[in-house]
Amino acid sequence: MDINNLFTQRIIENISHYLNEYRANHGSHSILWNEEMAKYSKLQASNIIDNLYIANYDDNNFRFYNELIVFKKCNNINIIYIINSIKKTIDSWYSENLIYDYDKGNCNLNNIHFVNLVWRSLTSFSIGIANNSDKMVIVLNTYPKIIKKNIKFNIIPKIQRSLPINIKLESMCIDD
């Protein structure tokens, strides 16, 4: 069974919302799921799990994607596990913000995942997953490719956001 077929529109929206909440923390706009790019992400994940290598495709479209990859040990794949794994992976990648130097704009191997998540100029993303009996590979692609010379513009410190408060007025009344 192709586990990518479990990605319903609702699940894609859930993951998109989760990812875009982190982006909003840094003043970055929401990015959208790209179904065409998802075909590449799925193919790349399959190549990694089947052949243990990262393919470099000649197709010109794919050379413009950023690519983040994670391996997970697993033996029981279900949609809840997949969603939680994706969210935990995003959390882990985002945590690299703690070692990112905003003054210097230092993009390096220790924080590249964070940079790829919150880069302001991104417009779209996709995820591909592949698994075998004991491991799962998650490939997250983003577009367009990051250009390090634009790093100060594209990575800004976390901003204070006011969260919407949905309180009904009658719930604030005190009964006598």
Beta carbons of 97 and 111 less than 8 angstroms apart: yes
- Say which DSSP state 162 is in: P
In angstroms, the CA 86 to CA 94 distance is 12
> How many degrees, rounded to 5, is the angle at CA 122 between CA 120 and CA 125?
135
Name the CA radius of gyration of the chain, rounded. Answer: 18
Query: What pLDDT is attached to residue 132?
Result: 85
- pTM of the model as a whole: 0.80
Beta carbons of 129 and 5 less than 8 angstroms apart: no
pLDDT in tens, 97-133: 999 999 998 888 899 999 999 999 999 999 998 888 8
For the chain, which ranges sit under pLDDT 50? 164-176
Residue tagged 């905003």 (tokens) = 102
Give the chain's count of helices (H) and strands (E). 5, 4
